[in-house]
A = this chain, B = another copy of it.
Amino acid sequence: MLNQQRINEMKERVFEANQALPQLGLVKLTWGNVSEIDRELGIVVIKPSGVDYAEMKKEQMVVTDLKGNVLEEKSLRPSSDLATHIVLYENMTEIHSIVHTHSTHAVMWAQAGREVPAYGTTHADTFYGSIPCTRQLTEKEVQEAYEVYTGKVIVETFLKEKKEAVDVPGVLVFGHGPFTWGETAKKAVQNSLVLEEVCEMARQTEELNAKAEPIPQYLLDKHYYRKHGKNAYYGQK
């Protein structure tokens, strides 16, 4: 009973977060999805696959276990990207929600196969350093288990670049698009919005100054830790 209430609240939050994506201009048509994990209950709630945002209902959010098995009868099919979410939840144990979009400027960087340099404080307020771009998936990976390897190549990228998921709450998948995450579904959506914005800013920064440099480490530290960690002083207590 109590658990059902928690699940219903997850469904509500996941529904609201999914609805926010087209409202914020981050998603067109049915592109994009949000999920949330409850590690205690061992469940994930995610958007159903290919349902119009305008017709979607919160009851339709899909409940699965941590292997991706659908738990409710009469459930719709989960987002086809569920397997990617699950790999990320398994490997990034501090995150509670994941967002995937095809937002315009983030996709451009993903298609260009480039990490996004931290050119300013707008970036540093949310992302501690450059936002990485994965390598291209191999033919074998794509054919064997595309969505699983999409998650794996993200984890590989963070390991290789020695980045922590909590410090850099987003990534670009080569040729595909962005994933972001956060402590809550609302925060994960906000991180998608920030990612889109800094991608637009960064592209045109380079047009204005072909020799533009990332901000110095001390300014990155200042802005990031002004908002995060025990010495943060931005916002209300």
Contact = CB atoms under 8 A, between A and B. Distances in A.
Interface of A: 28-31, 48-51, 76-77, 80, 102, 104-105, 107-114, 119-122, 125, 136-137, 139, 142-143, 146, 175-177, 190, 193-194, 197, 200-209, 212, 215-216, 218-219, 222, 226, 233-237
Given A111-B119, A113-B212, A218 B102 contact: no
A175 B29 contact: no
Contacts of A204: 105, 108, 203
A50 B236 CA distance: 7
Given A107-B201, A197-B104, A142 B112 contact: no
A234 B97 CA distance: 22
A77 B233 CA distance: 9
29 contacts: A28-B193, A28-B197, A29-B190, A29-B193, A31-B122, A49-B234, A50-B234, A50-B235, A51-B236, A77-B236, A77-B237, A80-B233, A80-B234, A104-B200, A107-B120, A108-B205, A110-B120, A111-B201, A111-B208, A112-B205, A113-B209, A114-B208, A119-B175, A121-B175, A122-B177, A136-B219, A137-B219, A143-B218, A203-B207
A209 B122 contact: no
Nearest to A233: B80
Contact of A175 (B108, B177, B215): B215
A111 B205 contact: yes
Contact of A176 (B104, B107, B120, B218): B120
B48 A236 contact: yes
